[in-house]
Structure 1
Amino acid sequence: MSPNSKPGLRADASRNTARLLAAARELITEAGPEVALDEIARRAGVGNATLYRHFPTRADLLVAVYRDEIADLCRCGTEPAGSEPPLDALFTWLDKFVVHVATKRPLALAASAGPGDRHTPLFAEWHTSITAAAGVLVERARTALRPDVTTTDVLTLATGLALATGADGEHAHHLVALLRSGLASRSADADRA
């Protein structure tokens, strides 16, 4: 649950939280997770005290921003377009996943960093959520995939593509299309031709 959806928040507090999260999301995208908290408060149009009342530490803010990013990504996986064929839904989501990994990795690492470069339990929670969303899509597309393909295979290959291409979205999309050729069963490829 994101902080702006806590039950009982006053309307102005809820608006301030939403503005802080939106400003943080924008500035983190522009400047990275080390962006000055004062700048986030300024962009949100609130004072520093308001920022610290809602997010006492930088880690609290980063976790809230990244938690929303993960929720959006997983929602795209578990609520695909109704008319989209399952194999298309899987690869539409993989395109989003690759962009997510390529662009949100610094935020993910900052939000889940623990002492000694160890990940906090949040990292495992987020990994589990992503794996579950991908698993739903892989199972829906099962008949169109090679029989030996697993969810872990799909996520490992897609993550590798994201890390290899970085922020080059066009190249990443091209590689996801190539990945589709390798993972799809021969009959699924024949159906597309």
Structure 2
Amino acid sequence: MDDTPQAPAPDHRLARTRTRTERADVRRNRARLLTAARETFLRDGADASLEGVARLAGVGIGTLYRHFPTRQDLLEALLTDVYDDLAARARDLLPSPEPGEALMTWLRAFISHVTEFRGMAASVLVTLRDERSDLFHSCRTMRAEAESLFVRAQKTGDVPAAADFPDVLTLAGAIAMATEQQPATADRLVSLAATGLLSPKPHYGQ
């Protein structure tokens, strides 16, 4: 008979509990970092100190970099929430009895959301163009929902048939970038873009 002491069998339940706890900690740290980043960037812009973000979140800078290796990664994580909100806004506006006005309402909401803090609009313009970005899935959903508004407005004649939705969205992104420091001017530029710069010329002799 072998009297050699046997190692206790591993407690898989304890291992699973430890894994769940670690994962919960990771999720909490990530959520705290995003909340701190939004607060910091609202106050100081997207170029604010990442050390300050980590400090406000109550974690070390190493933890921040494990979650977000670069500043752009952190910005894109914040933008995911923005794009999700804008996609939901487009869905809410789709049944509107005035398709043209619904599209304009969404474009104004887009500009307002993506100028939430200084430096955000530039990141948005990049992701609108780069289909390889990590953020593109969220961006694509937002674009698809907004394009439904655009197509509906086009079918009712509120938007010219020759207009192209990607151009409209790029224009909105450019307005956001240009008015980031002066948000009050954004609405005027959107209205100008919607009505056109040149007034129709009268046809004499008719």
- For residue 55 of structure 1, what is the aligned residue in structure 2? 68
Greater Cα shift, 70-79 or 141-150: 70-79
- For residue 145 of structure 2, what is the aligned residue in structure 1? 133
Task: Classify the secondary structure of the residue corresponding to 1:46.
Answer: coil
Q: Is the 8 A contact 1:63 1:112 kept in 2?
A: no
Q: 1:15 aligns with which of 8, 25, 28?
A: 28
Structure possessing the higher radius of gyration over alpha carbons: 2
1:139 Cα shift?
1.1
Correspondences of 1:7-156 after superposition (within 5 Å):
10-80=23-93, 82-83=95-96, 85-102=98-115, 106-107=119-120, 109=122, 121-122=132-133, 125=136, 128-142=140-154, 143=156, 144-156=158-170
Q: Is the 8 A contact 2:30 2:67 kept in 1?
A: yes
Task: Classify the secondary structure of the residue corresponding to 2:93.
Answer: coil
Q: 1:40 to 1:130 in 2, by over 3 A?
A: same
The Cα offsets for residues 95-142 of structure 1, whole Å up to 9 and x where unpaired, read as 0222345556834656998xxxxx682189376455433311101222
TM-score by length of 2: 0.63
RMSD: 3.6
Distance in 1 (alpha carbons) for counterparts of 2:189 and 2:108:
10
| Structure whose residues are more often helix by fraction | 1
1:72 Cα shift?
2.6
1:22 Cα shift?
1.2
Q: Is the 8 A contact 1:112 1:120 kept in 2?
A: no
The count of aligned residue pairs is 171
Task: Classify the secondary structure of the residue corresponding to 1:95.
Answer: helix
- For residue 13 of structure 2, what is the aligned residue in structure 1? none
Of all paired residues, the percent bearing the same amino acid is 41
The Cα offsets for residues 58-98 of structure 1, whole Å up to 9 and x where unpaired, read as 44323322333333333322443755632222111110222
1:56 Cα shift?
4.0
